[in-house]
Structure 1
Amino acid sequence: MPHKIAVILLTVLLLTGFSQPEPDEEITIILELKDTTSAAFKSQMESRLPRLEVVAEYETIFNGVAIRGTPHELEKVSRLSEVVNQYPVKTYTTQGKLSTPIPSLTTDIVRPNTPFTGEGVKVGVIDTGIDYTHPDLKENFRGGFDLIDFDDDPMETTEMGATIHGSHVAGVIGADGDMKGVAPGADLYAYRALGPGGMGSSVQVIAAIEEAVEDGMDVINLSLGNDVNGPDWPTTKAVDQAIKLGTTVVVAAGNSGPNTWTIGSPATSPNAITVGASSLPTKQSVLTVPGEDRQIKVQLLQGSNPWDLSRKFPVQHISGNNFNQITGKIVLIDRGGTDFAEKAELAYQKGAEAVIIVNNSEDQLKGSIEGKQLPIPVAAVTKGEGKWLKEKAIKQDQWVETIQREIAHTIAPFSSRGPVTTSWSVKPDILAPGVNVISTVPGGYQVLQGTSMAAPHIAGVAAILKEAHPEWSPEDIKTSLMSTANLLQKSKSSSFPPTEQGAGYVDTAAALEPELWIKPGALNFGKVEGSFFREEVDISIRNQGDETQTIRFKQPKKQAGLAWSVPPSFHVSPGEEVVIPLEVQITNGFVKEGIHEGYIEVESDTQEYHIPYLFMMDTADYEKITGLEFSKDWDSNGDLVYRFNLTETVDKLTVDLYRSGTMLHHGKLLELDDPEEGLNEGKVDLKITDDFVGSYIAVVTVEIDGEKFSYPFPVRF
C-alpha cells in the first residue's frame, strides 16, 4: 500500500506558525486542565496571578478555561502543574470581496413542499464564522461566539487569510433572502473555531462545541475534520458528549476519497450524522481532440467558475514563468512553485481563456482557488492526462473542443469513504448534494463543492424535522433520516456499497413522515477472527404510520462460508415497536480477506428498505497510525507531548526524525513497546534548542507479528 503524508486540518500550535505577539499586547489562550475543575482553577488564578483574567470556563465537553493577559503574564501559567496544554488565539487582518450571480440551488432539491422551515430551531455553525451582514443571512443570525479572537463577534476573517467557508455553510442551512436555504426559518448561530485560512486547533473546536451546547443549540453543523480514522480522538468524543446531552450533530465526512479508510475525526463519531457528498444529475464537461477517441474529464478546482467554453481553443503549455503569448488559449501549467490561485490569476491577466493544472502524479488533484474570484475556469488533470494533451493537442497543433456529457446522480469522487478503524463500522451515514453548490459568501455568492457543502443540507433537514417533531431526540432524527434514505445505483443491477453512501441519499419528505423506523441504522459486526464467527443482533422495527404493516426480510444471496438467518414475516401495528433477531455465521477459511459489506433488504406492504451491514476479515489495507501531533509540554516547560491514534494494538512503535529537504537522520525521537489501539498520549524528554528548531519528517514505524509498516508525517519544532 502506498503511504501518504498525513495532513491534520485541526492542527496544533506546533504546525500553525503563529507570529509572536508584542510584549504589551493582551491576547487570549485556552488552557486544557487536569486534576482540577475550571472553577477551582479560576479561584486559584485570581489569588496567585491577579493580572490574568479568566474569560470563559469549560466543563461540559472538556475541562479547561480561557485566559486573557500579556505574553509575560501568560508565560507564568506554564509553571502551573494543573495545565495540560495551552493554545493561542491570535487576531489577523483581511482581503477582498466576492460576487457572482445565483444559479439554480441544490437546497431546492432537498427542501420538500412542506410548511416547515425550521422556525424556532437553533442551529450552530462551528466553522470560520459568518458574514452576518449578508442580506440573506442577517435576518436569521442570532449570535454566537468567536473562539479565535475570543469575543462575541463571530465574523468571518475579512483581511489576511480571508475566509468564506462558514458563510457558505450557513447559507445552505438557513439563508432567507434572494437565496433560500434548506431551513430558511431556522435561527443561525456562529461559533468561529477556525481562523485565518480556515485553520484551528482541536481544543478550539471542542470549546466551540461546548459553547454551542451551553447556548442550547438543537443542531450543530461541523463542516470540518482531520485524517484521524478512529473513534477515540478528542473531537470525536466531544461530539458524542454533545449528542448525549441532546444536541443533533451533523459532520462532514471529509474530502479524501475515493479511497477506503479515509473518514476522519469527528466524522468517525458513531452517534453523529456523518454526511457524504453526492453529485446530482448534471452535464460533465470533457475535452476532446479532433481525430482522437479519448475524452479528458474536466475536474474543476474548488472555487472555480464552471467550464462552459462554447468553442474550440488552442492549447499552450507554460514552462516556468513564461506566460507570454497566451491570449485566447487554454493554458496547461505544471504543478509546483507558486500556488494554484497565483498561477491561474497570472494566466488570466495575460489573456488566457482557461487554465488546466497538470498534477505530478496519476492522482486526482484536490486543489482550491478560493479567495481569487476569477472569471475564467480553472481545472486539473492527472500527469498522464496532461502528457496526452501535450502530445495530441500541442505537438500536433490541434484545437481542443469542450463537449457536455450527461452524468447520472452519483457519489462525488472526493467524498471520503469508510469504514472506521478500531470499531470497523459503516460511515458515512447518508448522502446529500456536495458538488457545485451555490451559497452565500461575504459580498455575494459562490459555487463550492465538498462534503462541507453536503453536511449543511442535512443540518437544515434536521432543523425541519425538529420543528415538525420537537419531541424527537438526536437518535430519532438520525433514525428517520437513515430509514427513509434512497440507495444510489452504480448500475441497473447494483448499488454503491455502504462505505460509500451509508443508508443512501436523503429523502426529506419521507423523513418528515416515515412509515417505519429501523434501528440500528447499520449492522456493524466488526473484525472477524478465529475459524468460525457467529453473532446475533437485534433489529428494532417501529411503525410510525397509521396502518398495520407486514414486514418481510429477504434472504441475502448465498456466498461460500457466509450464512444468514433472517426472521420470518411478522406484523407491526401503528405505534408498535417489534424487536427481532438476525444472525450471521462466517466460516473463515471460505471467505476472502478484506471488507465485506452490503445491504439486508426489508419489505413492508408499501415500501422497500435497506439496512447496511459490514464485517471485516484480517486485512492490511488501512493505515495503522493516524494523527501524529507534537506540542510543547507546558508543565515541564521544555519537553514534548505527543498524541497519535493507533487502529490496532502493535508490538512496537518507533519515531525517527529526518531533516526536511536533506532527509538526513536526526535521531530516534520515541520508542514504545506494545502500545494499544486508540488514542495514545505521552511525553518525550527532549529540550528544543535553537539548533533543533526547523522542519522535519517524522517517520513512524510500527511492527505487527514481525511485519513493519512505515508512515511519514511533516512536523515543525
Structure 2
Amino acid sequence: MQNSTKKTQTNEEIDIIIHLAEEPVAVQKRMAQMNGIPFTEIDEENIEAAINAQQQSVLEEMAAQHIYFKKPHLYKTVLNAISTVIRKKDLDKLSSIRDVMLVEPNAAMEAMSLPSADYRAPQVNEFDPVHAEVQALWAEGIQGQGVKVAVLDSGIDPDHPDIRHAYRGGINFVDQSDTEKYSRLRAGNDPSETSPDERSNVAPEKGVTSGRPFETHHGTHIAGIIAGKNENGVKGVAPGVDLYAYRIFGGYMGGSLTTILEAIEKAVVEKMDILNLSLSDNSDLENHALSIAVNNAILAGVVVVSTAGNTGSVRGSIRTPGTSRMGIAVGNSTIDDELDSSSSRGPSRPNFDIKPDIVAPGTEIYSTMPGYGVKAAYKNAYARETGTSQAAPYITGVAALMKQAHPEWSPLDIKVAMTNTAKVLDTTSYNVFDQGSGRIRPYAAVHPSIVAYCTEEIDADGKGHIVENRRGAITFGSVKLAEDVTITKLVLVKDIKGDGGVYDVNIQITEPFEGATITVDQPSFTLDGECLLDITLTAPKSENTKYRDEILGYVHITSADRSVEVSLPFAADFSDGATVIPAIEEFSITKKDISFGIEEANDETEVTLSINSDLSYPSLEITDYLSKAPLDSLFYSNGMSLGTWKYPILHRFTSSWTNEDTTLEDGIYSIDFTGMANGEPLTDTIGPIFVKSTKPVITGSVNGSTVSGQVTDQYIDFSTTLTELGEGFDVNEKLAASYSVTSDGNLVTTDSFILNQDGTFSVELDSLHPEHDRITITITDAAGNNGELSL
C-alpha cells in the first residue's frame, strides 16, 4: 500500500482517491479477450458485484475504525476506486485497511491553453503544413462520419453555427449548488459553456488565484478544431463526427480529478470512440490515477488523446494524462514545423518513456468561441489560442478520420499508424523527448503502406497488472551498466497495402553514449506479409554513469524506391537513477566594459551560461546596477535544457518583455539570470557592467616643461557614483593615460602617466623645444574608446 499524501497529524480535511485491489471492469474484460475467453453480460455483472462488495467492505472498515469520511463517489469501469474526504490524521489507519492499494490527492486540474501571442498565424487553416493532406481525405469522403468523439472540457456552445451540425448533446458533471459562485443550478443534460449570467452577484469577475474569467470558452475552441463546419473560416479536421460535450470545468475553469475520472468512466460506458483531454495535472508520473484511467479506457477500446502540457521545453515537463503509456500525448508545433517553446517534453517517470508521442499544429490556432446563445454574437465568435490544448484536438480529428477509414482498428493500431508515419522534425534541434515520433501526416496515417511496432509489457494500473502495449516506439528504459549489456527488442513490420517489396533499415543516433550501439539484424529485407526485426542495444560496462547518460534516436524503415518510410523513436537511460544538485556552473561575460561606438563590438561581447540541470522559466535580465531595478530582458522562455548557452550583448536587441526593438544606452548595469529547478530559484549575476560609447575629452596646456590638463569622461562619473555606494574604483583602472613627443615628425619619447581621481593631470618632461616638438596626450578607456589632444 502506498500513500502519496503528506502524513500531517491534524484535523484538517483532505480530498482523496482510494485505489482498491480488484481490477476494474474494463481491465478484466480486456484480459478475457486477450486470453480468448468469451465475456458475457453475466460476466460483467459478476465483476461489478465483486467490485461493489470490495468497495462496501472498505467503507464499512473505515466506519469501524472511526475514520470520518464524507459521501463517497465510487468508480468501477476504468478504476476501482473511491473518492471522498477524510481527516489527515486518519491516513495511517486508512492505509492499513485490507484491499487499499494507493491513496492520492484529488488534485485541481486545468486546461492547456495559453494567452494569445503577438504572432498571428494565417486566419484559415489552409496554410498549416498538413492541411492539403486533410483536404485529400475529405475528397475521398473521409470526414469522420459515424465516429463518436467526446470533448471532456468546459462544455461546448451547441448554438455555434460552426458546431451545431455535429453536436449530439452530452453531460454536465459540474455541481452548481454553491450560491456564492453560481446564480442558478444546471441540469445534468446541459453541458454548454459557463455563461457570464451564471455568475452570482457576490462572485468576482475573475478567479482570485487563477485570474481566469468566470465565463468559459475552452471546450468550444477545442470543438471547432475537431469538427468546425467552415461558416467563417474555421473547418475542423473531422467535420463529420458526432460530437459530445462532457462538461468537467465550471466557472473560472474550475475542475477536479474526481470529476474527470467520473467523465472518463461515463464515456467508456456510453461507448465513445475517441476522448479529447485538453487538460493536465502537475505530475509527470505514469501511475497517476488519471493516466491509469486513460490506460484502462484504451483497454476498453476507446482512443484517448491528451495534451503533453504547456510547462515549457524543459526535460521531464510532460504532465498527466500525457504520461499514460497507452494514450496519445500531443505536443505543439508551429506552421513552420518548429516546436512551440511552451510545449512540454518527456520522458515520463519512472520508465523513461518517450513522450510526447506526436506533435501537431497548436500555435495561434483560429477556432470557434461561444456566443452564449446570443444570436448576434456569433458573427465574431472566433479567436486564436495557443497550446497543446489546440494541438490535441488536431490529433483527435485525425484519429476520427482513421477510425472511419478503419473501423476494425484498435486504439493501439491507430496510435501505431499515426506515429509511424509522422514527419521527424529537425533532430539537431529536437530530440525524441521533444517531438516523439514527429509531426502528424494525416493522409499517410489514414493510408499507411506498412506499419512497424514493438510490443512491450507494462503495468497498466500501478498495481502490477501487466498488459501488452503495442506502440510505434522502442523504449529500452533504464539500463544498468554493472556489466556489458545486450538487449534486443522485436519490431514487427506489417504490409498493410499488400504491395510487398524490398525495405532498408537505417539507425539514426541523435544522442550518442560512448561505446553504445543500436543495430538491426536485417539492414535490408523483402517484405511478404510480415517481417520480424531484431533491434539490439549493446553498451559496455561503466561504473561512473551520470545524469543524462543516454542514447536516443530513430529507426527508419524505407522502401527501396524511397516512396515509403516509417520511423520509430528509441531511448535508453544509462544514468542508473543518477541525479544532480542543480547549479549554474558558469555565468560569465567576455567583457564588462562595452562600447557600441566601435565597429564590430557587437560581435565581441557575449554572456556564457552553463547549467547542469534543466530549468523552467529561465530569464536573462538587464538591471540598473545602482537602483537594482530590472530594465529589460534579453532572453526568456518556458524552459531550457542543461548545457552551455551563449547570448550576445547588442546595442539594439529585441526585448523579450515587449517584443520590440530596444537600445541599450550608456550606463552601469548588471546581467541577472534566474531559472527554476525543482520548484526552487537558481540565480546569478554579473556586474557592474559598464556600457560607454563616448570618447574621453581632453583639455590641456604646456607651461615650460610641464604639461597639465583635465580629462572629462563618464568613467570618472561612474567612479564618483559608485564611491557613494562603497564600490568606487581607481579611475586609472578604466582610463589608460599616455603621452608621446615627436620632433619634426620623428618620435622622441613615449610613456604613461597617472590621472588624479577627478581627471586632472600634470606631467613633467625633461626638456621641450616648442619650435619643433609636438606633444600628444592619449586617453584610452577600458571599453576601447580613444581620445587625443595634440599640443
TM-score by structure 1 length? 0.56
Q: 1:610 corresponds to which residue? A: 567
| Paired residues of 1:487 and 1:496 also in contact (CA < 8 A) | no
**What is the aligned counterpart of 2:408 among 442, 446, 471?**
471
| 2:350 is equivalent to residue 422 of structure 1 | yes
**What is the aligned counterpart of 2:488 among 536, 539, 547?**
536
Letter in 2 for 1:103: Q
Letter in 2 for 1:216: K
**What is the aligned counterpart of 2:313 among 258, 278, 285?**
258
Q: 1:61 corresponds to which residue? A: 78
Unpaired segments ≥5 residues, structure 2:
1-11, 22-49, 64-69, 85-93, 109-119, 176-186, 200-213, 372-380, 455-471, 583-676, 682-791
Deviations 1:647-668 (A, max 9, x none): xxxxxxxxxxxxxxxxxxxxxx
Shift of residue 554, structure 1, vs aligned partner: 2.4
CA–CA distance in 1 between the matches of 2:333 and 2:341? 9
5 Å-filtered alignment, 1:554-703, equals 554-556=506-508, 560-573=514-527, 576-589=529-542, 593-594=547-548, 595-605=550-560, 606-618=563-575, 620=578
Indicate how the Cα distance of structure 1 residues 269 and 31 shifts in structure 2: closer, same or farther if over 3 A, else same: closer
Letter in 2 for 1:263: I
| Paired residues of 1:223 and 1:455 also in contact (CA < 8 A) | yes
What SS does the aligned partner of 1:410 have? Answer: coil
Q: 2:259 corresponds to which residue? A: 204
Shift of residue 199, structure 1, vs aligned partner: 2.8
What SS does the aligned partner of 1:411 have? Answer: coil
Q: 2:226 corresponds to which residue? A: 173
CA–CA distance in 1 between the matches of 2:251 and 2:541? 51
Indicate how the Cα distance of structure 1 residues 65 and 523 shifts in structure 2: closer, same or farther if over 3 A, else same: closer
| Paired residues of 1:129 and 1:154 also in contact (CA < 8 A) | yes
CA–CA distance in 1 between the matches of 2:159 and 2:286? 38
What SS does the aligned partner of 2:136 have? Answer: coil
CA–CA distance in 1 between the matches of 2:229 and 2:406? 22
Shift of residue 247, structure 1, vs aligned partner: 0.4
Shift of residue 573, structure 1, vs aligned partner: 4.4
Between 108-117 and 508-517, the greater mean CA deviation after superposition: 108-117
Q: 2:390 corresponds to which residue? A: 453
CA–CA distance in 2 between the matches of 1:442 and 1:607? 42
Shift of residue 146, structure 1, vs aligned partner: 1.6
Shift of residue 568, structure 1, vs aligned partner: 2.3
Indicate how the Cα distance of structure 1 residues 203 and 562 shifts in structure 2: closer, same or farther if over 3 A, else same: same
Indicate how the Cα distance of structure 1 residues 205 and 109 shifts in structure 2: closer, same or farther if over 3 A, else same: farther
**What is the aligned counterpart of 1:549 among 495, 501, 505?**
501
CA–CA distance in 2 between the matches of 1:516 and 1:270? 23
| Paired residues of 1:566 and 1:583 also in contact (CA < 8 A) | yes
| 2:160 is equivalent to residue 134 of structure 1 | yes
CA–CA distance in 1 between the matches of 2:389 and 2:259? 19
CA–CA distance in 2 between the matches of 1:555 and 1:33? 42
Deviations 1:116-142 (A, max 9, x none): 000110001111111112121122111
Between 556-565 and 267-276, the greater mean CA deviation after superposition: 556-565
Shift of residue 415, structure 1, vs aligned partner: 0.5
What SS does the aligned partner of 1:136 have? Answer: coil
CA–CA distance in 2 between the matches of 1:40 and 1:610? 45
Deviations 1:543-578 (A, max 9, x none): 11231121222255686311233122454546x122
Shift of residue 418, structure 1, vs aligned partner: 0.6
| Paired residues of 1:543 and 1:572 also in contact (CA < 8 A) | no
| Paired residues of 2:547 and 2:578 also in contact (CA < 8 A) | no
| Paired residues of 1:32 and 1:85 also in contact (CA < 8 A) | yes
| Paired residues of 2:286 and 2:325 also in contact (CA < 8 A) | yes
Deviations 1:194-234 (A, max 9, x none): 22222321111111111111111101111111221111100
Letter in 2 for 1:170: A
Shift of residue 530, structure 1, vs aligned partner: 2.6
Between 495-504 and 228-237, the greater mean CA deviation after superposition: 495-504
| 2:191 is equivalent to residue 154 of structure 1 | yes
Indicate how the Cα distance of structure 1 residues 476 and 38 shifts in structure 2: closer, same or farther if over 3 A, else same: same
| 2:556 is equivalent to residue 519 of structure 1 | no
CA–CA distance in 2 between the matches of 1:231 and 1:508? 28
CA–CA distance in 2 between the matches of 1:234 and 1:562? 36
Indicate how the Cα distance of structure 1 residues 136 and 42 shifts in structure 2: closer, same or farther if over 3 A, else same: farther
| Paired residues of 1:261 and 1:622 also in contact (CA < 8 A) | no
Indicate how the Cα distance of structure 1 residues 577 and 249 shifts in structure 2: closer, same or farther if over 3 A, else same: same
Indicate how the Cα distance of structure 1 residues 428 and 15 shifts in structure 2: closer, same or farther if over 3 A, else same: farther
CA–CA distance in 2 between the matches of 1:428 and 1:85? 24
Indicate how the Cα distance of structure 1 residues 196 and 622 shifts in structure 2: closer, same or farther if over 3 A, else same: farther
Unpaired segments ≥5 residues, structure 1:
1-13, 17-28, 68-77, 90-99, 282-408, 625-708
Q: 2:183 corresponds to which residue? A: none
CA–CA distance in 2 between the matches of 1:501 and 1:710? 23
5 Å-filtered alignment, 1:105-254, equals 105=125, 106=128, 108=131, 111-114=134-137, 115-149=141-175, 151-159=188-196, 160=199, 161-178=214-231, 179-254=234-309
| Paired residues of 2:172 and 2:248 also in contact (CA < 8 A) | yes
Letter in 2 for 1:601: H
| 2:370 is equivalent to residue 442 of structure 1 | yes
Indicate how the Cα distance of structure 1 residues 599 and 622 shifts in structure 2: closer, same or farther if over 3 A, else same: farther
What SS does the aligned partner of 2:522 have? Answer: coil
CA–CA distance in 2 between the matches of 1:177 and 1:423? 43
Shift of residue 599, structure 1, vs aligned partner: 1.3
What SS does the aligned partner of 1:112 have? Answer: helix
Query: How many residues align structurally?
Result: 447
What SS does the aligned partner of 1:554 have? Answer: strand
CA–CA distance in 2 between the matches of 1:120 and 1:604? 34
Higher Rg of the two aligned structures:
2
CA–CA distance in 1 between the matches of 2:313 and 2:332? 11
What SS does the aligned partner of 1:581 have? Answer: strand
Between 461-470 and 609-618, the greater mean CA deviation after superposition: 609-618
Indicate how the Cα distance of structure 1 residues 539 and 41 shifts in structure 2: closer, same or farther if over 3 A, else same: closer
* Higher RCO (CA 8 Å, separation ≥ 6 residues): 1
CA–CA distance in 2 between the matches of 1:449 and 1:223? 12
Q: 2:438 corresponds to which residue? A: 504
CA–CA distance in 1 between the matches of 2:448 and 2:311? 33
| 2:346 is equivalent to residue 412 of structure 1 | no
Shift of residue 580, structure 1, vs aligned partner: 1.8
Deviations 1:422-442 (A, max 9, x none): 101111111100101011111
Letter in 2 for 1:153: D
Deviations 1:462-512 (A, max 9, x none): 00100011001101100110111111126xxx4621111111111111111
Letter in 1 for 2:297: A
What SS does the aligned partner of 1:169 have? Answer: helix
Letter in 2 for 1:215: E
What SS does the aligned partner of 2:490 have? Answer: strand
CA–CA distance in 2 between the matches of 1:66 and 1:562? 47
Between 560-569 and 248-257, the greater mean CA deviation after superposition: 560-569
Indicate how the Cα distance of structure 1 residues 483 and 87 shifts in structure 2: closer, same or farther if over 3 A, else same: closer
| Paired residues of 1:38 and 1:58 also in contact (CA < 8 A) | no
Indicate how the Cα distance of structure 1 residues 43 and 421 shifts in structure 2: closer, same or farther if over 3 A, else same: closer
Indicate how the Cα distance of structure 1 residues 32 and 422 shifts in structure 2: closer, same or farther if over 3 A, else same: closer
| Paired residues of 1:598 and 1:612 also in contact (CA < 8 A) | yes
